[in-house]
Amino acid sequence: MLRGIRPTNLWCIFDLEAKKSHLAQLENQIAAADFWDEPARAQQVMKTLNTLRDEVESWRSFDRRIQDALELAGLGDEGLRADLEAETAAIEAELNKHSFAAMLSGRYDAEDALLAIHAGAGGTDSQDWTAMLERMYLRWAEGRGYKTEILDSTEGEEAGIKSVTIAVNGRYAYGYLRSEKGVHRLVRLSPFDANHRRHTSFALVEVLPQVTMDDAEVLIDPGDLHIDVFRSSGAGGQNVQKNATAVRVTHLPTGIVVTCQNERSQLQNRENAMRVLRARLLELKQAEQEKEIAILKGEYTKAEWGSQIRSYVLHPYQMVKDHRTDYETGNAQAVLDGDLDVFMDAYLQQSFKK
């Protein structure tokens, strides 16, 4: 027996019929003779259509798998018990994956992400901590098969990095990573302290959805931009060092400043800077909307530095604890090696229930 798993329950819970209906509408759109008259819009529709196709086919395949298992169970053959138990376990594991993805239903959850990490209080230790977090997220992304690209990085004076911006490209990258937004706190014996005393370091993690140029939520007037070019101060080879390839874009109405200097090409750095600027403008717009709603509800409190979302303790004991969900583990090294899914799952489960 498959422990109460029923295909009809799955279709109902995740509203697959609505996705199928949306898919049919998009397929009708692309069949129109004038569909490609607006290439940017057409490409976005095609991206949405392909994502929906993958989701619908994945659920159809899962449903067929359950139906096949139910038919085998209905045979009543004891010789199939071991195979059925193994298949049941596999089905439940796949169901957990589908359930996890179903919680990622926000407008930008399925999109690529921009991850920015900034060293906070703690001096050289905090800059080293920022480098440790960069490695942690790169390892996590690699484990999920996501592509990563470092858009901008500023090295620390002695060790580590002051800040880094990483593009994380892959389906649901933003949906997963948004659980990481906030202050991360490290407690350890400092390798930079001659007396090897215990230090506490802080780093701020920002997570932004990557926004397409034609997204109606973010429209940028070229007249609102001030663009500077200068020589890169970071690593990147002789071409980067000698030529003015780094780009600084200032959005005059908001004062947002974005710098990109990791590419050899000024054009590439400018394109990357605009990617980050669009994401930051979207974040600003969403934050203002959320603030207005919270004020109307009487729930608004100012977010301030120091209210960490997660603590990583390496001395006198090992523990990583998320202060929002109270989920914790004693295997700190596994977390620092990129094992973050359990924390993301706990956060999404809590958010999904609200």
> Do 81 and 208 belong to one domain?
no
Does position 234 have pLDDT exceeding 70, yes or no?
A: no
The answer to whether residues 58 and 97 belong to one domain is yes
Its pTM stands at 0.73
Q: What is the pLDDT of residues 271-297, one digit of tens each?
A: 889 989 999 998 888 887 777 665 555
**Which residue did the predictor score with more confidence, 315 or 262?**
315
Number of independent structural domains in the chain: 3
Q: What is the pLDDT of residue 256?
A: 92
* Average pLDDT score over residue span 249-264: 88
- Give me the pLDDT at residue 343, please: 96
For residue 108, tell me if it sits in a domain.
no
What share of the chain has pLDDT > 70, as a percent? 86
3-class DSSP assignment, residue 259: strand
Distance, in Å, from the CA atom of 209 to the CA atom of 274, rounded to the nearest integer, reads: 13
Domain C-terminal end among 42, 76, 102? 102
Here the CATH number for the domain that contains residue 85 is 1.20.58.410
Same domain as 243, residue 293: yes
Q: Tell me, what's the pLDDT at 180?
A: 96
Helices (H) and strands (E) in the chain, counts: 10, 11
Decide if 202 is inside a domain: yes
Residue 305: pLDDT band with limits 50, 70, 90: low
Q: How many CB atoms lie within 10 A of CB 208?
A: 26
Mean pLDDT of the chain, nearest integer: 83
196 shares its domain with 94: no
Distance CA 86, CA 238 (A): 57
Can you spell out the DSSP letters for 140-175? HHHHTT-EEEEEEEEE-SSSSEEEEEEEEESTTHHH
Q: Which range has highest mean pLDDT (99-103, 217-221, 331-335)? A: 331-335
- The pLDDT tens digits for 113-164 are 999 999 987 789 999 999 999 999 999 999 999 999 999 898 988 889 999 9
> Which domain, by its residues, includes 336?
113-214+302-353
333 and 201 in a common domain: yes
Asked whether residue 202 falls in the same domain as residue 331, the answer is: yes
**Does some domain include residue 2?**
no
| Same domain as 309, residue 250 | no
Statement to judge: residues 192 and 330 lie in one domain: yes
